Amino acid sequence: MSTFHKLLIVAAIVALNVSCQQTESSLTDSQRAAIVDEIKQLTAAAYEAVSQLDHKRAYSYFSEQTTAAINGKVIESWETHKQQGGAFLASLREAKYVVEEMQVDVLTPDVAVLVGRYHFTATDTAGNAMTATPAWTWVFARQNREWKIVHAHISEPGG
């Protein structure tokens, strides 16, 4: 199945969740705030894991069927992306991810979209420094009573 078809399936699942569940307006302000807080806490934990170079924990926040696009390129295989991400983290001596901006839009009780910017600094094992400040979007869906990232998009200025 092509990545385009996978993206269409994710879009259809999100649309189905939106149409078949309570609407955002049926959520109370406290329910919406609780979901926003939970998504922000999960996001902070994911970036903490990456800052600690903990590949397995970082990717545990993602669905095994996550779709992704990075700097204009659709990721063909999530499994390959995870392997490449693990190799990248293994090449680092240290890394620090700091979320600079984060907004969460709760679409339904089981779907939320996060958009923001983070700052990344790292040093690889050869001593080379790197830095970036990408914008990113994550789509979260509740799967088996647990929030998982089902779609990721990252765009780096000049990337």
Give per-residue pLDDT as tens, 17-50. Answer: 544 444 446 899 999 999 999 999 999 999 999 9
- CA-based nearest residue to 42, from 134, 129, 141, 155: 141
Rounded CA separation 46/62 (Å): 9
What are the φ and ψ backbone dihedral angles of 72, each rounded to 5 degrees? 85, 0
pLDDT grade for 110, boundaries at 50, 70 and 90:
very high
Give per-residue pLDDT as tens, 131-145. Answer: 999 999 999 999 999
Rounded CA separation 30/10 (Å): 28
What is the domain partition of the chain in residue ranges?
3-155
Note the pLDDT of residue 9: 47
CB contact at 8 A, 106 and 120? no
Note the pLDDT of residue 89: 94
Average pLDDT over residues 47-65: 96
Pick 3-155's CATH classification: 3.40.50.80, 3.40.50.620, 3.40.718.10, 3.10.450.50.
3.10.450.50
Rounded CA separation 59/42 (Å): 12
Global confidence as pTM: 0.82
